Structure formats: structure tokens, C-alpha cells
Copies of this chain bind each other. A is one copy, B any other.
Amino acid sequence: MAPSAITPESSGTTTPTTAQASTLTQAGIKHHNGDGDALAPLDASKMTITLSTSPRDVPPMNSPEVMAQKTCTDHMVTAAWNETTGWAAPELKPYGPFSIMPSASVLHYATECFEGLKLYRGHDDRLRLFRVNKNCERMRRSCARIALPDFDAKELEKMIIALCARDGPKWLPSDRKGSFLYIRPTMISTDPALGVQRPKEALLYVIIALFPDMSKSLATPAAPPALAGDAQPKKATTGLKLLASTEDTIRAWPGGFGYAKLGANYGPSLVAQGEARARGFDQVLWLFGPEASVTEAGASNFFVVWRNKETGKTELVTAPLQERIILEGVTRASILELARERLAPGKAAGALEGVEVVERKFTMADVLAAHEEGRLVEAFAAGTAFFVAPVGLIHYKGQDVEIPMGAEGESGDYAKVLKGWLGGIMYGKEAHEWGVVVDEVKA
């Protein structure tokens, strides 16, 4: 097996870079070893297990450590890959630092991608994942875009489930019903060759972090004082306050990689995001092109509900996937599916009016017109991290667009009912195929 940039922590010594006879790989083409055997596939059934000998106490959820999003559970799962042998056996082992060469591809060329999903402690006391298969399939598409190796999505799913089954009982115990842990599958290239080229070595890993519930905290962020002279939101609202991006900061572009969950989409957004927060906003509303198409809110998908000017019908609208500049959100897809199934005109329950579900390009001019003409019903951001978060205000070109937040000022009705349905599936109130029960490993 070829030497890897990932070396055991316990070696404790300086590891020199070593020679490796490399073989040329054709992009995207599976190849074989010299002896005619196929490269080893990712295989969760080969997973080795090494339990932590120094398990930690679970810190309180309101501790600074958890609020700072730095706490991970006792274990992680890793699987190393290289171009000549394929996937090594996955390892479930104690969470801890990697040893990585300063020349590693991931540190220079952003050869990295990730996923984000949650483990839920149900009100019925069972642990569940939500549509984990969709995250694993999207991870494959992200890997393909950033020249990282492919794998069977089902095997990654098994690795995630194994880790959740192991650490879930302790880190998300029965007394935290209705709460979650955050799961972060990641792939990085550990290839120590400094040349700009397709990586020959990679590491797939899964970690689990304790996150505060940002769908609540974000509505009242601890934003630093706004700067004098800068645009500031007119007044405190209960929903998310979004600052529309300007033409000098564009998140993604057709022919780029906005659809994939690459590190390269996130780091370059941090300056704009930091400026928005310093000015008292929660997130950037990412616009695109001279017509100011509305694409994403922060790292979430964006939805608006309005009454169509021509038809008078109520519509739930979000940006389409065709141009590949927005992320194919799992929450996005689930909201669209539920709305089509349960909120179609004639089907909507109670006082709610049915909605037409529309995936299409829409612009800030469309939003402003709906606002001015009293047709704007509500807006919300949706994604795994922030779940379904009502939007209360958009600041665009010097103007504050206030968005209705429902009768109690907490949330529009559609966001509320969709959030309720999704939460019901996640936390086991509703039996649904999207909720994947994890059988816990008993200590």
C-alpha cells in the first residue's frame, strides 16, 4: 500500500515525505491494479472498531464550548483511499487530530467537500436520521466535481449509522428528546504531492458535533454593534434579517460549482457574511446577475410565498436547480415534496390556503413588487443547519423590505406548518420513510 500523508498520531516523530511510484489515471475512469484485481471498494462491513479509552463528559448545551461549535463526540469514522489500492477498511476510532503533511493537497488546492445532516432524538425515544441516503448521494456528486474518489453511497450511509449508533446513546441521551446532534461527513485529499493535479490520496471521515439549536438562536443573534454610517436594519424583527449581496460579491456562477457542497463555496463567502453580521444582519441574501436573481440565503435555500399578480393564486417559489448555481438542499427537496403533496390547492388543511409550488428564477424586482402591492405572504430560509427559519427583513439597495411574520410575529403560516411536518418526521411523531431509525449500541 502506498504511504499516506495521514500517519498514526502515535508515531510522534517527523515523517519524511516518501517516494511513490505513481500510475497515471484517466479522469473518472476506474482502473485496476497490476495483478488484475479491481481497486478495493469502500466497504463498511470491513470496519474496525477501536473504542476511546478516555471518553469525555458531555458538556452542557449552553456551555461556551458547545456555543462555539467546537465539541465533537468520543469517536469518528475514517476511511483512507489511494489511487493504487482503492479504499482501505474503514475505522471507527477515538475522535482526535489528524497528522497531515504541510504539502497536502487539501491545504493548498481546497480538494475537499462535505455533508451536513442531523441525528434526532425522537419524542418516542428513538434515534433517527432524515433522508441520509440523499446526503450520501450528494456527497458523491460533490466528490466528482472536486476530483475526489467515488464510492458506494450505501457504504457511507452504513458508516454514518455505525457512528451514530455508537455515540448517540451517550451524546444524545433519552432526556434530550426533541434535540439533535450535527453529523459532518467530509472528504479531503491528503496527497502530499505539491503539483496541481488530480489527487492520488484521500481521506473520507465522519464526525459528530454538538451544535446549539440555531433555528432558535439565529432569530436573536448576538450581533456586534453595527458600524456608524453603514446600512442597518430599520428595527429589530423576530425573523432572519438578510442583507442582499452586491455585484462585487457573487457566490456562484453557471459553469462553476455552486450546486456542490465544496469548501470552495464557503470560505469565499465569509468576508461578505462577516460584514453582514457586523452590520446587524443574520445572513447574506445571495443575488445573481444584472437582473438580481434571488438564489440562496447564507448557506440555506430561500423560499418566498406570494400571490401571483396575474392569477391571484398563492405560490410557494424557490430558485430552480437547472443553472447549477444553488445547492440541491435536502430540506429544499423535502419542503417541495411535502408542499406539493399536502398544500396543493384543494388539499391544504385548516385555515391555510393551498399553494402552487413553483421552481423558477425570480428577482429582487419581483419581491419588491409583491411587497409594494401587498402580495407578499412570507419568506423563509431552509437548510439542515438552520432548519426552517422565517425571514423578517431584506435590506436591498438602501431599502428595508419588511416581510410578514404571521399573526403572532413568530413565523408565517406556511413556514410553520412545513417545519411542523418535517419536525414530526425527524422526531418520530409521524411514521414516514424519510425517518431512518438508528438501532443504538447499548453500553
Contacts and interface: CB of A to CB of B under 8 A. Distances in A.
Contact of A103 (B9, B64, B192, B209): B209
Nearest to A96: B14
A265 B26 CA distance: 22
Contacts of A17: 65, 70-72
Given A111-B270, A249-B255, A70 B198 contact: no
Interface of A: 5, 7, 9-10, 12-22, 24-29, 52, 54, 56, 59, 63-65, 68-72, 76, 94-103, 105-112, 114, 144-147, 182, 184, 186, 188, 192-199, 205, 207, 209, 211, 222-224, 227, 247-250, 253-257, 262-271, 273-275, 277-278, 298-299, 385
A400 to B, nearest CB: 21
Nearest to A24: B224
Contacts of A20: 64-65, 68, 70
Contacts of A65: 17-20
A271 B144 contact: yes
Nearest to A99: B97
Contact of A263 (B54, B71, B110): B110
Query: Interface residues of A: mostly helix, strand, loop or mixed?
Result: loop
11 contacts: A14-B52, A16-B56, A16-B96, A25-B224, A26-B274, A26-B278, A103-B207, A110-B266, A112-B267, A262-B264, A264-B265
A20 to B, nearest CB: 6
Nearest to A275: B27
A106 to B, nearest CB: 6
Contacts of A198: 270-271, 273-274
A76 B102 contact: yes
B97 A15 contact: yes
B18 A14 contact: no
Contact of A9 (B14, B195, B207, B224): B14
A284 B275 CA distance: 35
A26 to B, nearest CB: 4
Given A9-B9, A13-B96, A70-B192, 20 more contacts: A7-B97, A14-B94, A15-B97, A24-B222, A24-B224, A28-B271, A95-B102, A98-B99, A98-B100, A102-B205, A107-B112, A108-B186, A108-B263, A110-B267, A146-B271, A147-B270, A196-B299, A247-B255, A262-B268, A263-B264
A269 B27 CA distance: 12
Contacts of A54: 14
A329 B398 CA distance: 37
B102 A108 contact: no
Nearest to A63: B19
Contacts of A298: 196
A15 to B, nearest CB: 6
Most chain B CB neighbours (cut-off 10 Å) among A12, A56, A264: A264
Contact of A108 (B25, B112, B250): B112
Given A108-B266, A211-B194, A270-B147, A10 B7 contact: no
A385 B196 CA distance: 10
A293 to B, nearest CB: 13
Contact of A69 (B59, B194, B222, B253): B194
A28 B275 CA distance: 8
Contact of A182 (B108, B146, B194): B194
A68 B19 contact: yes
A95 to B, nearest CB: 7
Given A98-B99, A264-B268, A274 B106 contact: no
Contact of A267 (B16, B144, B146, B194): B146
Most chain B CB neighbours (cut-off 10 Å) among A63, A224, A265: A224
